[in-house]
Amino acid sequence: MSEESPKQDRAPTEDTALFDTIVNLAKRRGFIFPSAEIYGGIRSTYDYGPLGALMLRNVRDAWWRAVVRERDDVVPIEAAIITNPKVWEASGHLETFVDPLVDCRSCHERWRADQIDGACPNCGSADLTEARPFNLMFKTFVGPVEDESAVAYLRPETAQGMFVNFLNVMTTMRRKPPFGIAQLGRGFRNEITPGNFVFRTREFEMMELEYFVPPADASRWFAYWCEERLAWYQRLGIGKDRLRFRQHAPEDLSHYSAATTDIEFAFPWGWGELEGIANRTDFDLKAHSALSGVRLEYFDQVSGERYTPYVIEPSAGATRAMMAFLLAAYDEDEVGGERRTVLRLRPQLAPFQVAVLPLSRKEPLDALAHDVLHRCQATLTCDYDDTQSIGRRYRRQDEIGTPFCVTVDFDSLTDNAVTIRERDSTLQDRVPIERVVSELQDRIAS
């Protein structure tokens, strides 16, 4: 990792007010809702509303573009959520994917023993049970009979689907190390104490890359991916002062890891993991080879060399990343003597890139405004808002992060031009309707 990499040791200042503000904004404006709220919800489970679904898709697309589409050494895959249980036996999840669980004998709440200080966070009692191992995988049954022969698990990570398909991908795509397999999909972990909004939930979306390299090159590629992934967050709007690397101490490494570095974000409650980059060595491929009897190796026909590749794994959570982008973008300032709330999201992440705002619902202005909307919709994500005053509409769009508003006024009927208003500066420019799409595309790309 370079000398410029952020390595702040200072803990961020706790900001419960910001956290509460973001949670309230997320529900009020349609980003994130408590799941099944009309039935009282279910703990730490959330639904993504209209704006949240759009923004979450944009986070996924930004990762996909950076990790898959813009590279010539990574290919995608979509593996099954439910797979052969032997996959989890070989990976070590059946034996080692556990947290220490304790019960409070006073209030009967359950906690992770390594996250409390000898007392129940709910009632303060020190009368706790002895810690016992709790496996985090969700167990289910395949088929009509619920017995041990039908046991299966919801995947706790997407990585294993890429390891067991290593030979398939390498052969069909004619790849040789270094190359990567990328996957974006759901994961499930039966967390004992989920919390902090969408930071830790039992159902989540993972963005994972398994990058297969010659063993001698593993350290170099590990450093490369640490820097590459940090730069992705910075390009999308998170400042250096809110990011840092945290290297895992040898005693804290996972059973498969020779080195792990987390990219952490300064959340309102402190530093928290956004993404982990691990040197998984050849652990997974060798474990699956041993249990399956299939040699998961690379053979170089030119040199005659045969080896099991090492794997560098950048693993991120899409929902957790979305939360960090919202927190980093939140701002309050003053415009025209009035306070406003604004999400300074990058256009690539904002739910809407453009909002079309007609000054009247009446014809012929309404028809012209819809013509402008349809022009923009061909290449941009758009909102259409024709209710209340133009000032209130600007504030609504600022609060959800829309970078540009296009106002269609009565002069538009004669001069065939519209006004583009920029979110952060609030500056406005008159642009011919024929050029409005290209102008917006240029501004978004800049």
> What is the spatial distance between Cα 279 and Cα 35, in angstroms, rounded to a whole number?
36
Enter the tokens of residue 323: 């939360």
Q: Which of 74-78, 201-205, 223-227, 362-366 has the lowest mean pLDDT?
A: 201-205
Q: How far is CA 259 from the centre of its chain?
A: 22
| Single-letter amino acid, residue 390 | I
Enter the tokens of residue 378: 């061909």
Q: What is the pLDDT of residues 247-305, one digit of tens each?
A: 999 998 988 899 999 999 999 999 999 999 999 999 999 999 999 999 999 999 888 89
Helical axes 365-377 vs 436-445, angle rounded to 10°: 40
| Helix (H) or strand (E) run with residue 265 in it | strand 259-267
pLDDT range class, residue 417, cuts 50, 70, 90: very high
Distances (CA, A) of 166 to 137, 158, 207, 295, 298: 23, 13, 18, 10, 10
pLDDT range class, residue 199, cuts 50, 70, 90: confident
Q: What is the pLDDT of residues 83-112, one digit of tens each?
A: 999 999 999 888 777 778 898 999 988 888
Rounded to 5 degrees, φ, ψ at 379 are -130, -10
> What is the spatial distance between Cα 28 and Cα 64, in angstroms, rounded to a whole number?
29
Of residues 136, 245, 268, the one with CA closest to residue 197: 268
Phi-psi region of 49 (alpha: psi -120 to 50; beta: other; left: phi over 0): beta
User: CA angle 202-158-169, nearest 5°?
Assistant: 170
Q: Domains of the chain (ranges plus CATH)?
A: 16-83+154-326 (3.30.930.10), 352-445 (3.40.50.800)
pLDDT range class, residue 193, cuts 50, 70, 90: confident
Residue 254 pLDDT: 86
- Report percent pLDDT > 90 for the chain: 77
Instruction: Report the length, in residues, of the chain.
Output: 446
Tokens 């940090």, located at residue: 230
SS3 assignment, position 431? strand
Q: What is the pLDDT of residues 324-369, one digit of tens each?
A: 999 999 999 998 888 999 999 999 999 999 999 999 999 999 999 9
Of residues 260, 266, 259, the one with CA closest to residue 13: 266
Instruction: Work out the mean pLDDT of the chain and round it to a whole number.
Output: 92
Enter the tokens of residue 228: 């590459």
- Asked if residue 273 lies in contact with residue 293, where contact means CB atoms within 8 angstroms, the answer is no
Distances (CA, A) of 446 to 261, 346, 348, 440, 442: 32, 11, 11, 10, 6
Please determine, for residue 6, whether its predicted confidence score (pLDDT) is greater than 60: no
> What is the spatial distance between Cα 212 and Cα 282, in angstroms, rounded to a whole number?
9
3-state helix, strand, coil in the chain (%, to 5): 35, 30, 35
pLDDT range class, residue 13, cuts 50, 70, 90: low
Rounded to 5 degrees, φ, ψ at 201 are -130, 165
